[in-house]
Chain A
């Protein structure tokens, strides 16, 4: 492509005379036109809100006015707020519940469905189909499953004369209920990532293993798993960043209850900034979430860089 662009300069002497020092990589002010649209949206939709958020977090502000500078006052209030500390723990607990499960079930499904049969193709579509639903539909479906007395789970337990576990109101089960709905919703992406990784493993390694009389378990442990190690790490990191931002499921299924045990950081921010109008403290909580996600993103960057070094 670069050769083709350079051709006119070398082929026609007249052209090279007109632009004796034509260096297409030389900095030129008009080039800004090409990056201006991106810069505009990046600045107005990302950079400006980010800086404004940081500025707000040092102020006592409500939704309709930005008040006095309070320094680190909002951060001190957060540090002393049991509900905020609970929400950080809740978020980590949720990540712990969902991410390993998503990775393991995703891998298991990918291993089962990595074949060229029609049934496998249909099942792949079926398992991926939940990913296209919106969070509202997903939580509606799971509420219908979990709702006491008339829900699907209650009906099934009822056949055996048992009482169904209260997944949306029991303190020790509520987060697990949200995790189940989330895993059902998000399983498509890990499965697809693992499938694509599995399909990149050269067939001849398996053929060599077969000639060596390796059984299925040996093949899985010595060939398949080491070959998809990097995808495994990628899936884990993508899911950590995604699940850290839990909001919709918790808001729609439990409203953060019982006793704030399913209130994640994003819901805490929403509650504080928009329901209590305490915009300054909401902004401060957002900055803490920003730092947490930044750490996760840095981890992703480091892993990606190591991958590059090894390759």
Chain B
């Protein structure tokens, strides 16, 4: 009898031990890009101390776990943008609960019924779409419903090495950089820069790259009022407007006004080492570049760092290509506890969007973008304009990442001289239309 009691006690204790983690916390799976930095921020919960996209998001999730003992978030980090894995996960019925998705990619998954509409869930935790900036709300809304919690709006920027700009005499009396107002001025200033500094005006990551080329094209097509996606199922790119843009970048390449063989990491290093005047990169490096400019002995510390939206080179609408990041929730059966935990997570990110905006991204909430704290962050006076300038592709355009690859490949071929500009534009248009016709 005693033996049986002991056995019973042991089995009960074992069962309790096995069951306790699930009793203690609701488990949520989160999948994100933005890189891995566990060595530096793996246990950091003081978000204010973190810098850069990876540092801030890692610390935010750590803080969420620390503040909410009833929820446990386990994170999977994927290589940017991570859609190949996500698609495979959805196809095999093993998608994460919460996942980072670009506003430009939301419609791919939403159109297949894979994402959960968030209006009711967000309302239940006190987050309403009228709190979002217009850009964020439009980007996250598909078919009249919110399919992702917007966390930012981002765009490409002119990151400027002021020391080299001073050497090139491209600085106004008030200390601001002189930026071009037309393609001709751009080429003239790039020539002047090259003559005076011996270095290329642009630091671009052109080696096996597609995103940069495509974003540049979209921006300068917007600036010429080219409505190339008037029909979301049919693109028009074999146009005089597109030709002007490609020829401008080809001239920059041919005349040696840009670095040529660098990949993304190489371009960042080259800019930080002072090997060129303007790096074309996104909002996400503003925080890191600013930190560099405050470190003694660096190339950016020598004469300062400035950052501006793309200059208006053409006579059309003042605009540039923009997109945004969101947290989307996969569609699956969940317990009320799990749904409530997801609500808590989204609310936490909505509440802490100021910390995320320290990366350089523009906040997705009106209250933050108009706050004094945000305006006091470095360089926000010059880049906050992007909130109004930023323009995405029409939200009904599907497979925007695949389209980006096609356009980037063809632009790269034209700019580096592997293909005639007209042939590249014609191939670009027919390849994108072939893709869209077969969705």
Chain A residues at the B interface, C-beta cutoff of 8 Å: 60, 62-65, 77, 81-83, 147-150, 166, 168-171, 254-260, 271, 274-278, 281
B51 within 8 A of partner (CB)? no
With A and B bound together, what is the CA distance between A276 and B427 in angstroms? Answer: 17
B182 within 8 A of partner (CB)? no
- A62-B439, A77-B434 are contacts. A275–B263 as well, Cβ < 8 Å? no
With A and B bound together, what is the CA distance between A255 and B208 in angstroms? Answer: 7
B83 within 8 A of partner (CB)? yes
- A77-B434, A148-B261, A281-B438 are contacts. A274–B87 as well, Cβ < 8 Å? yes
B interface residues, how many (CB within 8 angstroms) = 39
Cβ distance B424 to chain A, nearest Cβ, rounded Å: 9
Question: Is A275 within 8 A of B438, CB to CB?
Answer: no
Question: Is A63 within 8 A of B91, CB to CB?
Answer: yes
Chain B 80-120, CB-CB to A under 8 Å as 1, else 0, gives 00011001101100000000000000001000101000000
Most buried by A among B84, B208, B260, B431: B208
**Contacts A276-B402, A277-B439 given; 8 further ones with Cβ under 8 A?**
A149-B269, A150-B266, A166-B207, A257-B412, A271-B405, A274-B84, A275-B401, A277-B399
Cβ distance A125 to chain B, nearest Cβ, rounded Å: 33
Question: Is B261 within 8 A of A166, CB to CB?
Answer: yes
Question: Is B435 within 8 A of A254, CB to CB?
Answer: no
B74 within 8 A of partner (CB)? no
User: With contacts defined as CB atoms under 8 Å apart, how many contacts are there between chain A and chain B in the complex?
Assistant: 87
Chain B 245-283, CB-CB to A under 8 Å as 1, else 0, gives 000000000000000111100100110000100000000
Chain B, Cβ-Cβ closest to A261: B418
Within 8 A of A (CB), among B382-432: 399, 401-402, 405, 409-410, 412-413, 416, 418-419, 427, 431
With A and B bound together, what is the CA distance between A169 and B84 in angstroms? Answer: 24
Cβ distance A109 to chain B, nearest Cβ, rounded Å: 32
With A and B bound together, what is the CA distance between A60 and B270 in angstroms? Answer: 46
Question: Is A276 within 8 A of B87, CB to CB?
Answer: no
Cβ distance B361 to chain A, nearest Cβ, rounded Å: 25
Question: Is B87 within 8 A of A258, CB to CB?
Answer: no
B306 within 8 A of partner (CB)? no
Cβ distance B282 to chain A, nearest Cβ, rounded Å: 19
Query: Hey, which chain B residues are within 8 Å of A256, CB to CB?
Result: 208
Query: Hey, which chain B residues are within 8 Å of A257, CB to CB?
Result: 207-210, 409, 412
- A257-B409, A259-B413, A260-B409 are contacts. A147–B263 as well, Cβ < 8 Å? yes
Q: What are 30 A-B pairs with beta-carbon distances under 8 A?
A: A63-B88, A63-B90, A64-B112, A83-B431, A147-B263, A148-B262, A149-B262, A150-B269, A166-B207, A166-B260, A169-B261, A169-B263, A170-B261, A171-B416, A254-B208, A255-B208, A257-B208, A257-B209, A258-B208, A258-B412, A259-B409, A259-B410, A259-B413, A271-B405, A274-B87, A275-B83, A275-B401, A275-B405, A276-B402, A277-B399
Query: Hey, which chain B residues are within 8 Å of A260, CB to CB?
Result: 409
Question: Is B206 within 8 A of A148, CB to CB?
Answer: no
Query: Hey, which chain B residues are within 8 Å of A277, CB to CB?
Result: 87, 108, 399, 439
- A259-B419, A276-B402 are contacts. A169–B208 as well, Cβ < 8 Å? yes
Question: Is B269 within 8 A of A276, CB to CB?
Answer: no
Chain A, Cβ-Cβ closest to B114: A64
Question: Is B427 within 8 A of A82, CB to CB?
Answer: yes
Cβ distance B27 to chain A, nearest Cβ, rounded Å: 26
Most buried by B among A62, A171, A257, A278: A257
With A and B bound together, what is the CA distance between A260 and B408 in angstroms? Answer: 11
With A and B bound together, what is the CA distance between A255 and B435 in angstroms? Answer: 19
Cβ distance B236 to chain A, nearest Cβ, rounded Å: 20
Query: Hey, which chain B residues are within 8 Å of A62, CB to CB?
Result: 439
With A and B bound together, what is the CA distance between A256 and B413 in angstroms? Answer: 13
Within 8 A of A (CB), among B175-196: none
Question: Is A149 within 8 A of B266, CB to CB?
Answer: yes
